[in-house]
Amino acid sequence: MHDTTMKQFWNEEFKRNKDPWTEPDEVLVKEVEGIKPGTVIDIGSGEGANAVYLARKGWQVTAFDYAAEGIKTVEKMAASKNVELKTIVGDILDYQFKESYDLVLVAHLHLGPDERPLMLANTAKALAPGGTLIFIGVEPYEGMDASYKDQFAPTDEIAGIIGKIAGIKIEKAETIHRVISYPGGSEEVDSILIRATRI
Ligand SMILES: C[S@@+](CC[C@H](N)C(=O)[O-])C[C@H]1O[C@@H](n2cnc3c(N)ncnc32)[C@H](O)[C@@H]1O
């Protein structure tokens, strides 16, 4: 179940990259605009652009990722922007959360069909009563590399899994066509935005 090859891939990628992306996801920026800052955990935080953005907006942030090298970058980025945040090196497929959070963010953490329901169920366990879950992802598209296409699922499928988790209510499930930018390029994608709450 635990894919050490992917973990190694991310660690090598984060260690190699000396110029991390610092722009937060624009879908996230818009979505959190109206939410009063509280505690948030960013699951699969990568190099930390979203986590550091939220910390700068007054959120008490915990960045969570299984790649220790990514977490190192998050810590460096936070220090360079003069914000504090907590970090956890952990695997979302088996981590036992000791705390719950007002906001749980999962952005661009795509796992295959065998792991996706467990990832989303464990993610939901981090959510405090009345808290908000924001899932942002990308739909699979024609021409996507076959070696990783099965890690991507359409909005309806992700919403279907989240909607079946006990105590979780979907508030919004949207597909947003947009241009997404990243270091060295940009591409047109259908983004997934799911917002849910713990009732
Ligand atoms: C595509 S990056 C997304 C990073 C960031 N959230 C963003 O939106 O830019 C996926 C991240 O998920 C992390 N990840 C993948 N599988 C994970 C798992 N099972 N547990 C924790 N983190 C995981 C990777 O290490 C990587 O940092």
Give the CATH number, domain containing residue 116. Answer: 3.40.50.150
Among 191, 108, 180, 192, smallest CA distance to 151 is for 108
Q: Return phi, psi of residue 64, to 5°.
A: -125, 125
Q: Where are the alpha helices (DSSP H) in 2-140?
A: 4-16, 26-32, 49-56, 68-80, 116-125
Mean pLDDT for the chain overall: 96
109 lines ligand 1 (CB under 6 A): yes
pLDDT tens digits for 144-154?
999 999 999 99
Q: Which pLDDT tens digit goes with each residue over 85-97?
A: 999 999 999 999 9
pLDDT at residue 1 tops 80:
no
Find the domain containing 46 and state its range. Answer: 4-198
105 CA distance to ligand 1 centroid (A)? 11
Answer yes or no: is pLDDT of 77 > 60.
Answer: yes
Distance 157 CA to ligand 1 centre (A): 20
Report d(CA 32, CA 177) in Å as an integer. 19
Report whether residue 125 contacts ligand 1, using a CB cutoff of 6 Å.
no
Residue 183: the pLDDT is 80
- 108 touches ligand 1 (CB under 6 Å): yes
Secondary structure (3-state) at 129: strand
Q: How many domains does the chain have?
A: 1
Q: Is the CB of 40 under 6 A from ligand 1?
A: no
Place of tokens 């963010």: 105
The DSSP symbol for 151 reads: G
Residues 71, 15: Cα–Cα separation, whole Å = 10
pTM confidence score: 0.97
